[in-house]
């Protein structure tokens, strides 16, 4: 066999080391450049947690608080009247819950009244304007005993349904 043929066979043989020409070796080991149209794939950034909803202010305002009943002396209605005990919001009066509030306060608004507790704005009254609130009492005696008081009131939440 000729020397060239043996040399070619050795290069193709699994036992013989392969020699890479220097110009090819420089291409293989040189820095690689990404095509400009391809963008690197990045993991999406996590979204920040939503901010908590604003809390109502811890401020109290002074209101003139009086009491009313569902009877004639407060509402002009007797127990045989079809609307007796029905508030302006359409709810039935409830002791410990119902309050008559000014027209600018939406129905369903909860109030914290000093010394009285929580009441919901379910009713209106002709004399209830500005900083006045009327709380429902089940009897005339209880309403008279409560009388007229200047108390601190805090709005707990304000509803938007009127």
Q: What is the pLDDT of residues 43-83, one digit of tens each?
A: 777 777 787 766 555 688 999 999 999 998 888 888 999 99
Domain boundaries, the chain: 61-157
Predicted pLDDT of residue 34: 56
Buried b (16+ CB within 10 A) or exposed e, 66-100: bbbbbbeebbeeeeeeeeebbbebebebeeebbbb
**For the chain, first and last CA: distance in Å?**
107
Residue 111 and residue 153 in contact, taking contact as beta carbons nearer than 8 Å: yes
Handedness of CA 60, 61, 66, 67 (dihedral sign): negative
Residue with tokens 């020397």: 3
Within the chain, which residues score under 50 in pLDDT?
Answer: 1, 3-6, 16, 24-25, 28, 160-162
- pLDDT score recorded for residue 151: 96
Fold category of 61-157 in CATH: Barwin-like endoglucanases (2.40.40)
pTM for the structure as a whole: 0.60
């Amino acid at each position: 066999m000729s020397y060239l043929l043996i040399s070619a066979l050795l290069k193709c043989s699994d036992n013989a080391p392969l020699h890479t020409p220097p110009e090819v070796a420089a291409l293989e080991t040189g820095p690689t450049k990404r095509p400009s149209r391809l963008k690197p794939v990045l993991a999406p950034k996590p979204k920040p947690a939503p901010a908590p909803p604003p809390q109502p202010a811890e401020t109290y305002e002074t209101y003139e608080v009086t009491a009313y009943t569902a009877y004639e002396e407060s509402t002009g209605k007797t127990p045989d009247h079809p609307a007796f005990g029905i508030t302006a919001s359409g709810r039935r009066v409830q002791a410990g819950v119902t309050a008559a509030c000014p027209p600018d306060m939406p129905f369903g608004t909860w109030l914290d009244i000093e010394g009285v507790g929580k009441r919901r704005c379910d009713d209106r009254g002709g004399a209830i304007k500005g900083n006045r609130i009327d709380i429902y009492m089940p009897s005339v005696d209880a309403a008279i005993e409560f009388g007229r008081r200047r108390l601190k009131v805090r709005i707990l939440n304000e509803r938007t349904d009127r």
